[in-house]
Amino acid sequence: MVYKTRLENRGFDQARPMEAKVGVIKRADGSAFFRFGHTWAYAAVYGPRNLYPKFLQDPSKGILRCNYNMMPFSSVGERVRPGGSRRSKEISMVTQKALLPVLDLDEFPNSVIDVFIELPETEAGSRCAGITAAAMALADAGLRMKDLVAAVSVGRVDDKIVVDLDYSEESYEGGPVADIPVAVMPNSGKITLLQMDGIISPEQLSKAIGMAKATCVKIAEVQRAALKEKYKASENNGQ
């Protein structure tokens, strides 16, 4: 069996329909929503604020604390048990490491910036949607960042290199599959997250990463447009 066409006639280098909105959570200092098809992520940023217990404080810079959480009813499979799991803890950590390179937290010693990522609906690629939403929320919170971060998963399904795998592709049984979440700083093309699950050849991998970078540039456009949409009214700031 050969993998020929994708669901909904998607091209192999085409991501699922994207949607982004900024300022969705009123009480947060910054918030954003991002969606890849049926994978929805809400991110809320609180802070910089006081950090306790005190031994966690860093006197040289502020710290970033990320929390990734899939809601119990979010996935197509079994109910996700509420609370943290080994998986969510790992994803929280890689999210933090994907976002830190763009942030400048020197201005906030001894304080913390909390990022909460909630996923009400997931169908593969949730950490990428989470990172993309969190980058927008951090910008909305007015933090100093040298760039945004956009993320997408790429990979291989049988003999095809594809962008933004959905659940049916991630669990494809007709051939080998590789799933590679990639986060990129769109200006410089530098990679801040690269994980892999599956089997892929070096040539296929470099082709996949190239496609991820190209897709992240498109995602960054969506992010920028969403951020500007919220503040558009301020554009003709008459004085």
Rule CB under 8 A: which residues touch another protein?
Answer: 29-30, 47-50, 59, 62, 102, 104, 107-111, 139-148, 185-187, 223-224, 227-228, 231-239
Q: From the CB of 234, what's the least distance to another protein, in Å?
A: 4
Query: What is the DSSP code string of 222-233?
Result: HHHHHHHHHHGG
- To another protein, the closest distance from the beta carbon of 137 in angstroms equals 11
Q: Between residues 70 and 149, which has the closer beta carbon with respect to another protein? A: 149
Name the minimum Å distance from CB 96 to another protein: 18
Q: Which amino acid is at 183?
A: A
Amino acid at 175: G
Please check whether residue 193 is in contact with residue 173, taking contact to mean a CB–CB distance below 8 angstroms: no
- Cβ closest to another protein, residue 41 vs residue 226: 226
Least Å distance, CB 42 to another protein, is 18
Nearest to another protein of 162, 216 (CB atom): 216
Decide if 102 contacts 135 (C-beta within 8 A): yes
Q: Which two tokens stand for residue 73?
A: 């009813």
Contact 119, 39 (CB under 8 A): yes
Structure tokens at 178: 């590789």
Q: Is the Cβ of residue 150 or residue 209 nearer to another protein in the bound state?
A: 150
